[in-house]
A = this chain, B = another copy of it.
Amino acid sequence: MIEVKSVGGKNPATVVLCFCENQIDEMKRTIFFYAIALAFLVFVLKSIEYRFYVRDLSIEFYIGFIAILFTVLGIWAGLKLTRKKTVVLSPDFVLDELKLQKLGISKREHEVLQLMATGLSNQEIADKLFVSLNTIKTHSSNLFLKLEVSRRTQAVQRGKELRLIP
């Protein structure tokens, strides 16, 4: 029982490590699983404990065993909690919709910007969106005005800077 409580007590410490809201669910699951694992381990340890007492083995070895176990468990928990962070840093992308609004960039224009960033030509973008080349040219022109650039390569760069595209 003491051990299970101890897991709850660690929550404040782990929360410090979590910045993104979308990670909290994952973290909760991790903590829950960790609690379950701890409870199970305590159970196992109890049985081992009695065996050790019966066989009159050294208490030091028992302590060492616990230390190793919980160290490994702690490392695993630490990795589990930070792996999200690691993954989050690069491939995660949260669109800055506020900036989109502030610059007055419409959905369609943003769409064009995204395809532009993949290296497509205006004609290819037009084909992909099932509209005419002229439409894409209009969109891109307006886009360039709003992003204050004059070339598509600059637009892509600027879009990444402003977190409009991944």
Contacts and interface: CB of A to CB of B under 8 A. Distances in A.
Contacts of A49: 63
A157 B119 contact: yes
A152 to B, nearest CB: 6
Stoichiometry, as copies per complex, reads 2
A20 interface: no
A9 B68 CA distance: 9
Contacts of A70: 66-71, 74
Given A63-B63, A67-B70, 19 more contacts: A2-B63, A3-B63, A3-B64, A3-B67, A10-B71, A10-B72, A14-B75, A17-B79, A49-B63, A66-B70, A68-B70, A71-B71, A71-B73, A74-B75, A75-B78, A78-B78, A89-B90, A116-B153, A119-B153
Interface of A: 2-3, 6, 9-10, 13-14, 17, 38, 42, 45, 49, 60-61, 63-64, 66-79, 81-83, 85-86, 89-90, 116-121, 149, 151-158
